Homo-oligomer: A and B are copies of this chain.
Amino acid sequence: MPRLAEGPTAILLIRCPDQHGLVARTAQFVAERNGNVVHADHHIDRATGLFLMRMEWELEGFDVERSGIAAAFTPLAGAIGATWRLHFSDVVRRVAVWVTKQDHCLGDLILRRRNGELRCEIPLVLSNHEVLGDLCRRFDIPFVHVPVARGSDAHEAVQLALLRENAIDTVVLAKYMQILSPRFLAQFDEVINIHHSFLPAFAGANPYVQAFERGVKIIGATAHYVTDQLDAGPIIEQDTVRISHRDSVDDLIRKGKDLERVVLARAVRAHCEDRVLVHGNRTSVFD
C-alpha cells in the first residue's frame, strides 16, 4: 500500500473488457476531483481479455461526498462497460466464524482481530459442537451452538436467522467440518473456507491421510470462497510446507495447522480490506 491514508478511504474494484486508455480514464476520474490516491493497481488477464483494477483514495479533500461517489462514477463505468463495487474503509465487515472442535484457526483470528491485524468485527461464533464455547467466552464473543443432525436441514434456518439477526456480512469456515448446502448458499454466499490441502489436490475428506498415502513431499492449505461445488470455489490464498518421509499423518496434521492458520488469516484480511476481485473462478488479490 503505497501512501498511508490519514482518514477513511474509498475503494473501487473494477472489472471491464480491456481497451485503450483505461488507466488514464480511471485515474483521471479521481485526479480531476482532487482525490489523493493511496493505492492503485491493475492488470490485464490475457486469457479473458479483462482489465482488473483496485483504486483507493482518501475521502478527505475529495470533491464528491461519500454518498455521491457511486453516482459520479456511473457514467464512466457505463462508458467502459465495467462491473464494479465501491467500499469505504471505515465500514467494517461483520464476520461470523463457524467452527467444529479445532481451535487453532478460531483462536488465531480472535487474537489478530484483537491486536488490529484484522480489520473486522466478530459478533458471532457458531459451532455444531459445544467445545469451543469456553474460548469464545474468554474473549466475550457470543457463541451459539447449532447442532447438525444428519439427514435433516432444520439447522439451516437457525443458521440463516442468526446471520440476519447479527447483520453478518461474511461467514468464515474456520475448520467447520460440514458442507453447506446449495440452498444455504443461495441465501448467503459470502463464505470463506480453509481447506487443509493444496487444492485441487486432495479435495474432500481427510486430506492429510490422502496426502500421506500418495506420498507427497510437500503439503499445503487453501483458503477459497465457497460455491456449491465442493472445494472448487475461487482460491484466495495458498501456501505450502515441505514434509519428510519421517513424518506420520499426525506430523502432517501438526505442520498443516501452521499453514491453515496463516493462509486463512491472510485471506480474511484481504477480503476485509476489499483487496479481492473475483472473476470467473479466479481471484485477483491486490496487495
Interface residues of A (CB under 8 A from B): 1-4, 18, 20-21, 23-25, 27-28, 30-32, 34-37, 40-47, 52, 102-104, 107-108, 111-112, 114-115, 117, 138-139, 198-202, 212-218, 220, 234-240, 242, 244-246, 248-251, 254, 257-258, 262, 265, 280-285, 287
A3 to chain B: which residues have CB within 8 Å? 18, 44, 46
A283 to chain B: which residues have CB within 8 Å? 215, 245
A218 to chain B: which residues have CB within 8 Å? 198, 220, 238-240
Contact yes or no, B242 A216, CB < 8 A: no
A114 to chain B: which residues have CB within 8 Å? 103, 107
A215 to chain B: which residues have CB within 8 Å? 234-235, 280-283
Q: How far is A108 from B73 in the complex, measured between Cα atoms in Å?
A: 44
CB of A48, distance to nearest CB on chain B (Å)? 10
List 17 A–B pairs whose Cβ atoms lie within 8 Å, in order of A's numbering: A1-B246, A3-B18, A4-B46, A20-B34, A20-B35, A23-B31, A24-B27, A28-B28, A47-B249, A104-B117, A117-B254, A138-B139, A198-B220, A200-B202, A213-B281, A217-B285, A258-B265
User: Residue A27 contacts which of B18, B21, B112, B200 (CB distance < 8 angstroms)?
Assistant: B21
A255 closest partner in B (C-beta):
B266
CB of A159, distance to nearest CB on chain B (Å)? 25
User: Residue A31 contacts which of B21, B36, B40 (CB distance < 8 angstroms)?
Assistant: B21
User: Residue A44 contacts which of B2, B52, B235 (CB distance < 8 angstroms)?
Assistant: B2
User: Residue A238 contacts which of B21, B45, B217 (CB distance < 8 angstroms)?
Assistant: B217
Known: A3-B18, A43-B2, A201-B200. A235 touches B217 (CB 8 A): yes
CB of A257, distance to nearest CB on chain B (Å)? 7
Contact yes or no, B107 A111, CB < 8 A: yes
A214 closest partner in B (C-beta):
B200
Q: How far is A64 from B114 in the complex, measured between Cα atoms in Å?
A: 51
A246 to chain B: which residues have CB within 8 Å? 1-2, 43, 287
User: Residue A248 contacts which of B46, B107, B139, B265 (CB distance < 8 angstroms)?
Assistant: B46
Q: How far is A158 from B149 in the complex, measured between Cα atoms in Å?
A: 56
Q: How far is A281 from B256 in the complex, measured between Cα atoms in Å?
A: 22
Contact yes or no, A111 B104, CB < 8 A: yes
Contact yes or no, A242 B242, CB < 8 A: yes
Q: How far is A44 from B262 in the complex, measured between Cα atoms in Å?
A: 27
Known: A24-B24, A235-B217. A42 touches B43 (CB 8 A): no
A37 to chain B: which residues have CB within 8 Å? 20, 23
Please provide the 5 A-B residue pairs with the shortest distance between their CB atoms, ordered closest to farther: A2-B44, A215-B282, A24-B27, A21-B31, A201-B201
Contact yes or no, B202 A248, CB < 8 A: no
